[in-house]
Structure 1
Amino acid sequence: MKKYEPLNNHVIPKSENTQFIKSEAKRLGFLSCGISKAGFLDEEAPRLESWLNKNHNGQMSYMENHFDKRLDPTKLVEGSKSVISLLLNYYPEKTQLSDSYKISKYAYGTDYHYVIKDKLKELLFSIQSTIGEVYGRAFVDSAPVLDKAWAAKSGLGWIGKNSNLITQKVGSFYFIAELIIDLELDYDHAVTDHCGSCTACLDACPTQAIVAPYVVDGSKCISYFTIELKENIPAEVKGQFDDWAFGCDVCQDVCPWNRFSKAHNEPLFDSNPEILSMSKNDWEEITEETFRVIFKDSPLKRTKFDGLKRNLKFLE
C-alpha cells in the first residue's frame, strides 16, 4: 500500500508514535497496551504443533487451519511491522445468585466482539488521523492470531499454568485483542512468570482439563463442552460440571492473582440484571422467545437456544 507523509510533514520519532498509541488506548478504556515486533513466534510453533497432534483441540478443527498465519502475523497482514496487544477488563461488580446455573462472567453483559471491535476501529482511525496513512487490521477472536502469546511477548502478563494470561496487578478477567499495523514502533519486553509452585488451578479443574502445568486439553474443558461442542455431551463427564451451563471460570476464580481483580468501568459490560436474578427454575423454564429477548446481544447467542437447553438438561 502506498504511504504518504505524516500529517505534520515531518517524520515522527517511533517513541512519540508509541506513546501516542498507548495514550489513545488508555483513553478508549483499555486496561493496558503492549507492543511487539511482528514476526514468527518460534517458541510457540512446537507447542502449538504438539497441542494439535494430541488432539487437545477436540472438534475445534478451525484451530488446525492457517498454521503458518497463526504463528506469523506478517503472513496474515501484508507489510505488518507491529502487533499492538490490548486488554479490556470485564470483571463484574455483581455475580449470579449462588443457587443458579452458572455462566462465565464474560457473558454477563454485551458480547465483547461488538464492544472491542468498535474501540479498535476508533484506535486505528486515531492512528491514521494523527500519524498518517497506516494500514492495519483489528482482531478479536476473528482470525488465526495467538492473542495470549502476543500479549505475553508484549509484556502485558505471563501465560499461567491454566493457560490464561495473568498479570500481578489485575489477575486475568479481561479480554485480549490486537491491532496489527505496518508501522514500526518501540517494542516492549516479556515479564517473568509468577505462578511459582502454586497448583490451585490444576487441583480445582472439575474435569481435570489442565493435564499438566501450562497445558490445557481443550477437549476436556467445560467451556468446550458447553459452547464449542455441537453434539451431545459425553456421558462420562456427567456430574463433573458443578452447575456450569455456559463456559467455566473455576481456574480463574481460584487463581490467587485474581484477588486483585477490580470491577470494570465499561457500561456495555454491565451485568444484565435479568441474568443475575435468574434461579435454576428460571433457567429450566426459559422459552425460546425469552432467550431471544434476554440474550439478544449476549455471548450466549453462540450456543443458541437448543444448545443451552442441552446443557441444562445435562446438568439435571
Structure 2
Amino acid sequence: MIKSTEYTQQIKTEATRLGFSFCGIAKAEYLEEESPRLEKWLSQNMHGKMQYMENYFEKRLDPTKLVEGSKSVVTLMYNYFPEKEQRDDSFNISKYAYGQDYHAIIKKKLKEFVSFIHEEVGEVNAQIYVDSAPVLERAWAKKSGLGWIGKNAMLIHPKNGSFFFLAEVILDLELEYDNPIKDYCGTCTACIDACPTEAILPGKVVDGSKCISYFTIELKDEIIPNEVKGKFNDWMFGCDICQDVCPWNRFSKPHNEKLFNPHPKLLEYSKNEWMDLTEEIYQEIFKKSAVKRTKFKGIKRNIDFLNKN
C-alpha cells in the first residue's frame, strides 16, 4: 500500500513536469455503464460511415483485453486552448488543429512518461494511447475524477473547461485510484441549442453522423449531403460551437505548447484567401498538422461547399 501511494505521487508529479495539466487514475475494469450506451449508439447508426467504430467492441470496454494483467488506467489531459483565434471573416478550423498534429507530440511525452515509470518502479507492462486505439477516453477521464461528461459528450473540467486532449497509459501496476466528481451541467442547454445540425441529443448523446466535424473530417465522399447545406456556420475543418458556447470554457487558459501555435496565415486568412487556396499554400500552412487527414482535396471540397451556401 505504501508503495502504491508513493508510485502514484511520483507518476502525478512526472505528468505535471511533462506539461500535462491534469492526471487521474482509475482501476482497470470493465466499463459496465458504457456497454449498453455504446451498443445503442452503434445500433442507431450514429457513427455514420465511421465503420472502425464497430470494431473491437469488447476491447473498448475492457482495458484488460488491451493490456494483459492491467490494473490501472492513467488518464492525462493536455491543454490546447489557443491564445489567438482566427479572424471573424474566415472559414473556421477547430482549435485542436491550429498547430502540429497532437498525436505525435503527446505520444512522445507519453513514451518519456513510461520510461520514467520503468526507472522508478521497474519492469511493468504499459501501453500508451492517444486517440488512436479502441479506448473510451472520456469515460476513463470521468472515472478518474478529471471532470464530468457534458451534454455535448465532452469531458468538462470544473476549473479549465473542455479544450484538452486526452491520453491514457494502461499498465499492470496497482496505484491509488481517484473518484468521479459531480456533474455540474445543471439545467444548461447552451450546447444543444447552439448546434446548427441538431447533432446533440438528450442524455449526453451526440449523433456523430450529424456532427459538422464528421462531415468535414470523417466523411470521405466527394459530395457533402445537400440536407446540411447552410448549416455549417463557416466551419471548414472540425467544429468548436458546442465548446465555444459552454459556460465552463470561460475558465479556459491559453496553452504553453509552442508546437500547437498556428502558422500566421491560418489566423490572417479571410474567406476570399481560403477560396484561392492552392496545394502549395495548403502544404505550407498545414505542415505536420492534423488537417492533413482530409488532404488538400478534402479541404477544397469543404470550402467549395461553404462557398455555395
Which region of structure 1 is more displaced relative to structure 2, 282-291 or 59-68?
A: 282-291
Are the counterparts in 2 of residues 202 and 213 from structure 1 also a CA contact under 8 Å?
Answer: no
Q: Distance in 1 between matches of 2:76 and 2:232?
A: 31
- Counterpart amino acid of residue 40 in structure 2: S
Gaps of 5+ in 2: none
Q: Whole-Å Cα distance in 1 between the matches of residues 287 and 198 of structure 2?
A: 33
Choose the corresponding residue for 2:246, options 255, 269, 272.
255
Partner in structure 1 of residue 111 of structure 2:
121
CA shift for structure 1 position 292 = 1.4
1:247 and 1:70 mapped to 2: Cα distance? 24
| DSSP-derived class of the 1:233 partner | coil
Identity across matched positions, percent: 65
Instruction: Show the counterpart of 2:11.
Output: 21
Cα deviations across residues 166-198 of structure 1 (Å, max 9, x unaligned)? Answer: 011000001000011110000001011000000
Is 1:141–2:105 an aligned residue pair? Answer: no
In 2, Cα distance between equivalents of 1:30 and 1:104 = 21
The match for 1:209 is: 199
TM-score by structure 1 length?
0.95
Q: Give me the whole-angstrom Cα distance separating, in 2, the residues matched to 1:130 and 1:73.
A: 23
Letter in 1 for 2:269: M
Q: Which residue of 1 aligns with 2:286?
A: 295
Q: Which runs of 4+ in 1 moved over 6 A?
A: none
Residues matched between the structures, number? 306
Alignment partner, residue 101 of structure 2:
111
Secondary structure, aligned partner of 1:180? strand
| 1:69 and 2:59 aligned | yes
Aligned-pair distance for 1:12?
Answer: 6.2
CA distance in 2, matches of 1:27, 1:229: 38
The more displaced of 262-271 and 160-169 is 262-271
Pairwise CA distance, 1:213: 3.7
Tell me, yes or no, if the aligned pair for 1:101 and 1:280 is still in contact at 8 Å: yes
Q: Write out aligned runs for 1:100-249 (5 A).
A: 100-231=90-221, 232-249=223-240
**C-alpha deviation, 1:141, in angstroms:** 1.1
Deviation of the 1:281 alpha carbon: 1.5
Counterpart in the other structure of 2:277: 286
Distance 1:272 1:109 in 2: 7
Contact kept, 8 Å, 1:162 with 1:213, in 2: the verdict is no
Corresponding residue to 2:260 among 262, 269, 272: 269
Counterparts of 2:13 and 2:29 in 1: how far apart (Å)?
25
Q: Which runs of 5+ in 1 are unaligned?
A: 1-10
TM-superposed deviation, 1:142:
1.1
TM-score by length of 2: 0.98
Instruction: Determine the C-alpha separation between the residues in 2 that align with 1:19 and 1:289.
Output: 48
